[in-house]
Structure 1
Amino acid sequence: MDKTLCELFAGVGGFRLGLEKASKDWKTVWANQWEPKKKQQHAFDCYCEHFGKKEIYINEDIASIDKSKIPDHNLLVGGFPCQDYSVARTGAKGINGVKGVLWWEIRNILEIKKPKFVLLENVDRLLKSPAKQRGRDFGVMLACFNELGYNVEWRVINAAEYGFAQRRRRIFIFAYTRETKFASMQSSANAQCIINTAGFFARTFKINPINNIQNTNLIYKDLADVSENFKYEFGNSGYMNNGQIYTSNVTPVSIKPIPLSQILEKNADNKYNINESNLEKWNYLKGSKKIERTSKAGHKYIFSEGPIAFPDPIDKPARTMLTSESSLNRSTHVIKDPTTSKLRLLTPVEAERLQGFDENWTNTGMPEKFRYFCMGNALVVGVVEKMGQTLNKIFSIEESDYVIENEERKAI
């Protein structure tokens, strides 16, 4: 089966880069990147700078695109924003008033193009949103997949626990149609086996064996019924087969992470040194605090937060990098430069190294602030590369003419 790829919400190409590092056989047949309310589309320009500006790379709102005109593909990938996925009824029309707009665009592509495999990335709070109906949003997504004939695995992965330089926790969602050979192969394994050893994520990111699995089902009238009534405490790993959900909290077989010291540039420009006049502000932002606030309803409460190490230790992997990196705020990394002993920000190259991109990947004419923004939005390329290696084996199964026997299945 051809390794044809469609990349949604492509950013600066992290999914594609990771897959291509795993195999040069991947062929991107269509990609979309559009930053709303931005006159300059710096991420899209960066993507085209590295992969060539082609008519199949689209810089438009995905909602405005005719999904039937997207080329056929066997793998759909994308990292999409975490939103509200609730649905509402309206007479005989069934579902209306959808909110998590970008998810519904993905769903529409799945319905029309029916790619055999799907790999998505999101923030891990997706499993617990919204606060008033924990698990509803992810339940709606699973119901969509189930309705369209997909089985699904998910895993929250902390990149640092598998040898990378950043403590970045993200949920990855892997789905495949029930007509694939991979689905047939997986049908001979129970849920515990899928989560422990036989599943996509278990093959890629080893875990300590678990035997406590919770389960529920998605037997509801329709998606609106799921939205109104579904509530569930999802674990950080799980599997859905024909509407049956199995989930557990797993712990990784950890690989020693890369410390921040190993990604630092030597002789960083002095412009990254923090202004000493702001030192008091930095200390305040990084310190613990308790602040009285008033809610919209008018009642007073105490907002509290614990301290963040200041400066960041460089003998450990970095904290999660956000889109606000380099600005004067609590989440920005500040290190003590090992050469000058001065406090400074991370450089754009160091931000790229944290995410596993090639050096100066975003040095394509965009403002420096936006280079940090792009990296804060990106994923860890090496994590995708590892998944790409497993996908290579799965795609080899789809190309084969023979039935997978048990011993062959174990060797995958």
Structure 2
Amino acid sequence: MAIDVVSLFSGGGGLDLGFKSAGFNIIWAIDNNQNAVNTYKANIGDHIICDDINKIDVNNIPHADVVIGGPPCQSFSLAGNRHVEDDRGQLVWRYISIIKEIKPKAFLFENVTGLLSAKNGKGEKIIDLLKNAFRDIGYTLTTQVVNAADYGVPQRRKRVIIVGVKGESRFSFPKATHNESGVGLKKYVSVEEALDDLPKVIYDENGSADYLEMPKTEYQKRMRNVEKVTEHFMPQMSELDKYIVEHVKPGGNYMDIPPDVKSSRIRRLQREGGHTTCYGRMKPDEPSYTINTYFNRPNVGCNIHYREDRLITVREALRLQSFPDSYVVVSSSKQGRNLIVGNAVPPMLAEVMAKELKKYVEEEI
């Protein structure tokens, strides 16, 4: 029997791809970003609408067994000011009102770890208010900070996941399959293992290229489901970017850049420290750090290719997010493209969670 899913704040569909791979039936989705909606339609289906979730009639959302999605996380991000009173911060309560109306058997809520420390204007912790609100409408909750790398994604990406199950049943998070050392479990998938079969970068945004070689790792085999690589075009870099990239070694950061660099920010970081992944180059034998929405810049995270003197491509970011090579991004702008990729839930992580959740939902159908 099909398990129907409603997807909120769907973006480019990372969560949805994972749930679809696990055998769930996505019947309805919504996002307010037209680029994300167009991308979703190109990869998953036409059951998504582009609209403001605060303005739609909840009665028009179809009934579903499961609701998935996480409100935009900027308000709770550790990188931001965490103004939870702004419009984006208020979206978590809209999420709860929709759950209350649809009454799914279960839901999965995903957000940044900054949610755990975010407070409202009264000093109350948002996570506690959220949990109380979910419990008040009849859900038993299980909350955990999960690291995507623990489940075979080549990226150290930590996120808060709340799973609610209707009634008394309690969800158990799946056990990790990978770890840092490889002792007792599989070793973390490294960026080299994830990306080494990709061709040289191309210079046409709409172009494609043949793979460099046959897949050599299980991860590469899993990602490759097309004949040619797309979204693998050369990232634009300023002269300053090129200078920075040339000097940062694998695993290094701004401390590798010569002190004569024409950047007051870099000189300040070198004096004062902090933000250790800034201007970072990936280590080939380790997972990447979090792929963010600015992976086309060297100054926001660790985005320099582990071997070549350039920033990572969109396809490489997608690979590190565990999107299959058939996935295409439809966007009217470059930054719109990066937003879709950087904001996504890794589909492989979503699939692991979905398979576990399926056991609980099937018992109720």
1:305 aligns with 2:290: no
> Which residue of the partner structure matches residue 269 of structure 1?
202
> Which residue of the partner structure matches residue 61 of structure 2?
70
The answer to whether the 8 Å contact 2:106/2:361 transfers is: no
The answer to whether the 8 Å contact 1:273/1:343 transfers is: no
Question: How many Å separate the matches in 2 of 1:45 and 1:281?
Answer: 35
> Which residue of the partner structure matches residue 207 of structure 2?
none
- Give the greater-gyration-radius structure (CA): 1
Question: How many Å separate the matches in 2 of 1:165 and 1:135?
Answer: 36
Structure 2 stretches of 5 or more lacking a match?
76-81, 178-182, 204-233, 256-265
Question: How many Å separate the matches in 2 of 1:375 and 1:290?
Answer: 30
Q: Measure how far apart 1:360 and its partner are.
A: 4.8
The answer to whether the 8 Å contact 1:326/1:332 transfers is: no
Question: How many Å separate the matches in 1 of 2:116 and 2:188?
Answer: 26
| TM-score (normalised: structure 2) | 0.74
> How far does the alpha carbon of each residue in 1:263-285 deviate from its partner, in whole angstroms, 9 at most, with x for none?
22222236348555534455699
The answer to whether the 8 Å contact 1:174/1:200 transfers is: no
**What is the 5 A alignment of 1:1-400?**
2-23=2-23, 26-35=24-33, 41-54=34-47, 57-82=48-73, 83=75, 100-130=89-119, 136-178=125-167, 183-184=168-169, 186=170, 199-201=171-173, 204-206=174-176, 255-264=186-195, 265-269=198-202, 271-272=234-235, 274=237, 277-281=240-244, 286-287=253-254, 291=268, 304-305=273-274, 307-308=276-277, 310-337=280-307, 342-364=308-330, 366-399=332-365
Q: Measure how far apart 1:112 and its partner are.
A: 1.5
Cα distance, 1:3–1:255 mapped onto 2, change above 3 Å: same
SS of the equivalent of 2:293 reads coil
Question: How many Å separate the matches in 2 of 1:98 and 1:143?
Answer: 21
Question: How many Å separate the matches in 1 of 2:121 and 2:49?
Answer: 37
| TM-score (normalised: structure 1) | 0.66
> How far does the alpha carbon of each residue in 1:119-156 deviate from its partner, in whole angstroms, 9 at most, with x for none?
01000111112399887010110111121111100110
Cα distance, 1:343–1:48 mapped onto 2, change above 3 Å: same
SS of the equivalent of 2:189 reads coil
The answer to whether the 8 Å contact 2:71/2:88 transfers is: no
Question: How many Å separate the matches in 2 of 1:59 and 1:115?
Answer: 22
> Which residue of the partner structure matches residue 216 of structure 1?
none
The answer to whether the 8 Å contact 1:2/1:74 transfers is: no
Cα distance, 1:331–1:101 mapped onto 2, change above 3 Å: same
Cα distance, 1:67–1:347 mapped onto 2, change above 3 Å: same
Question: How many Å separate the matches in 1 of 2:13 and 2:54?
Answer: 20
Question: How many Å separate the matches in 1 of 2:87 and 2:12?
Answer: 28
The answer to whether the 8 Å contact 1:7/1:77 transfers is: yes
Cα distance, 1:365–1:60 mapped onto 2, change above 3 Å: closer
Letter in structure 2 aligned against 1:267: K
Cα distance, 1:275–1:383 mapped onto 2, change above 3 Å: same
Identify, as 1 or 2, the structure richer in strand: 1
Question: How many Å separate the matches in 2 of 1:253 and 1:176?
Answer: 31
The answer to whether the 8 Å contact 2:110/2:162 transfers is: yes
Letter in structure 2 aligned against 1:32: I
Question: How many Å separate the matches in 1 of 2:44 and 2:52?
Answer: 20
The answer to whether the 8 Å contact 2:147/2:158 transfers is: yes
Q: Could you tell me the percent identity over the aligned residues? A: 27
The answer to whether the 8 Å contact 1:118/1:174 transfers is: yes
Cα distance, 1:360–1:366 mapped onto 2, change above 3 Å: farther
Question: How many Å separate the matches in 2 of 1:253 and 1:60?
Answer: 47
Letter in structure 1 aligned against 2:12: V
Letter in structure 1 aligned against 2:43: H
SS of the equivalent of 1:390 reads helix
Letter in structure 2 aligned against 1:31: A
Structure 1 stretches of 5 or more lacking a match?
36-40, 88-96, 187-198, 208-251, 293-301, 400-412
